Structure 1
Amino acid sequence: MIKVLLVDDESWNRDIVRTFGAWAELGMEIAGEAEDGREALRLISELSPHIVITDMRMPGADGVMLMNNLHERNPEIKVIVVSGYDDFKYARNALRYGAVDYLLKPIDPKELNAVLDKCRRELEEAGRGQSIYALDIDVSLWLSSYKQRMRVHFNELNAEGVNSVLQGIGRELEHEGVKGPGVFRQAASEMLLLLKELIRGNGLEEDLLKAEIPHTALASAESVSAYLTELYEASLEQLIGQRKFKNKLNLEEVRLYIDGHFAEAVTLDGLARAFFVSKEYLSKVFKQEYGCNVTDYILGLRMDKAREWLADENIPIKTVAELAGYEDVGYFYRVFKKHFGVAPGEMRKQKSGLKMSNPEG
């Protein structure tokens, strides 16, 4: 069993990681939890974890101190950093001390499990004596924006958009290639992890993906781009065939797709393109079946989830907005108030008042 240690001073952040991780499936267990770097170092000496997931900003002994110590004493431990956008500059120096990967807050379950799976494979490879390349955090940062666009384009069957993303990655790698072959391997590995996520999410066969990336695919930026393009195009073609040649539109499939992607940039136009129907037809039959149009259904999902997360006072309202799919917090406030008649903060106060007046309920 691969042992994992969680390090974060906020219990709700640890709860999120504990809840979202596919521990049993990945052959992992949470061996312990710590609230700061000093407690983490004590537990590391007792538990000997294989992976440490740590926040950066913590009172007392923070993530920087912890990573400095791990770099010197336990370089074999895989470290996953949790960081917000505002903390990125602060986190970057620490990442140079050997972090395997990082997660941006709010944590996405799919990204968490993809990173954990990557750590698992690296631990297995290290056990077989294969060399592991250190993560270049700058590469991961610029890749993250391409990944966001790729998710939307792939799920909407937008072949032109998928190719555009891969071409952009190829151009970036032309500049980054001076850092050495590790950059090519990292970009290829991260984009293959994303493709695996997309394949599983759409119920496709994983036969196209091989366990190892061929050495010839890592020879240059051009070869990385060509390798990824071949795999993404083949997978997209498989998904198009799966959806295009169905006898009729399965509305339940559409609804389940929305349920799984409501926090992303899901639109009526994108859904219509993804399921090979006109947006007018999709809008009409969806409303007939579910009693509301697609846009209102997505809004309802986002608002219900936001209300649920607001009940936990430890989750900042800004994080609630991001989890519900709103990057602009001001816009989230306006939409929420229009939907429920009260602002997010006011609803939180009301719920808090109810709990205080009824502590057993």
Structure 2
Amino acid sequence: MRALIVDDEKHVRSAVRKLIDWRELGFREVIEAEDGAEAVRLIEERRPQLVVTDIMMPLASGIELMAWMEKHAADCKKIVISGFNDFEFVRHTVKYGGIDYLLKPIDRKQLLDAVSKAAASWQETERGKRQLQAKSMEVNELKPMYRDKLLSRLLAETSYGRAPAPGEHYLREFSALADIRTCQVAAFDLKSLPEHHLRKYAPNPDLLFFSLLNICNDFLHPSGQGTAFRNWNSPYEIVLLIWDEPDRTAAWLRKIADGIGQTLQVQAEFGVSQPRPFPAGLHQAYVQALGALNRRNLLESSSPIHEYQPDAPSVGTLRFGKFEEKIRLAVRSGHAGQIRQSVGEWGETVSAMERITMEQLKWWWDEYTVARAGWIEDFFQECREAPRMPAENGPFVLPLDERGRFSLPVLQERLIGQLIELAQIMASLQAPGGSPMREIARYLELHYMKEITLQDISSKFHLNREYISRRFKQEFGETIGDFTSRVRMDKAKTLLASPHLKIAQIALMVGYQDEKYFSRVFKKVEQMSPNDYRKKLAEAERNGG
């Protein structure tokens, strides 16, 4: 803080300066003026926090100085020192916010009390100003969030077929929307940005939203025909609401895409709806925009704008599940080469497709995620300690190459990396002395209807045939042949419960081409023929058993 002493008598100014320890009270500088006019100049130049002034001075009195300060330096605290015990002087001191009125000769304790009170008052005022400033900043920060949440709420409300009435909250906040008749929605998914770009903003994703929204609204707001907002119903979306100018929508979106590209060096793509009535058709417009964005052909990159097409092709029929078993076995083998080979076979099939969409990619990734969870659960049952598996990597992010285009090799490498990591964790947690015999047993249980030789198993699991035979019997107490026969007979008993299936059909269904051979094996295991077993089941059913 800084203090200014104003008096036309130098010895009085010196006495005020020396009577108290100004630094101890928080004042780092004490300056002087010999009249009101000089005081005005110093107040304007040095901005003191406290003025200690005489009443009677040449050029400008203390009362005139305080009156001027009330208009031009209202926050500055005032203490009056006077040789006159005059009520009018005291009244003016109070009128202009003086802290105290002290009589000459100056009493040290009274001066100390007055200056201490002035310092405390100024600090309290500053504290209040800082709190008010902080609240103001907080409000300014929350205003965009509040705005975006209102618009997101409006987007959700119309999904229930409810059109908000005029005068509702969103119209009070956005009066420009009151006269809208038609609207279009454009959707932008941040998950379509390059992965390294998302990692860059991972500590502060709000900064990425702030940058993107600023670019969008710099183009939309001056026109008065649109606004962009963060969709709080979906954590990675920006929605652009454009009204009453459908012919200009594409031009605005191209400018916005160029602005994003120049500012952030990324390619932005938008799904755009057809014009719909506002507000009743807002949700339908949003659904159309998302559909256009998610069903765009990622193998084509001709335009950043993808308009909704009612007859757009739906998601393809290829399923990740077709390759699941082979990939799972590769993971359990622990060999990186096998993992690469199995994922590569899936990639070869995908690369032959003429159309790949974000919708299809998400579908594949969801299938993979469910399958991976199942593998982990199966392994957990075999493991002696709870495995610490790698955390999920969040939502599916579009795999892009260095040019910002969809890249199947990038997706394959992402998948291979996760699978190798999973295989390494499984290998590190494998019980001492463990073997892949459980995996072989699982494989036999899943493929019991096929003719599987010991050589087939040896080739698939990369193990010596003699080792498999010996180790399998040690772990399960029966040979692979006996194990397979038992599994087949268990399946056959289930099928025999259906009177509509012939014995020959059941034999084929459980892996036997010859009905008579099947019957011999069944009788050997169950001590009765398939027909006798079926009669036994029927009799038990009649007796309520």
For the aligned pair, the TM-score class normalised by the smaller chain equals: 0.3 to 0.5
Larger % of helix: which? 1
Bigger CA radius of gyration: 2
Larger RCO (CA under 8 A, 6+ residues apart): 1
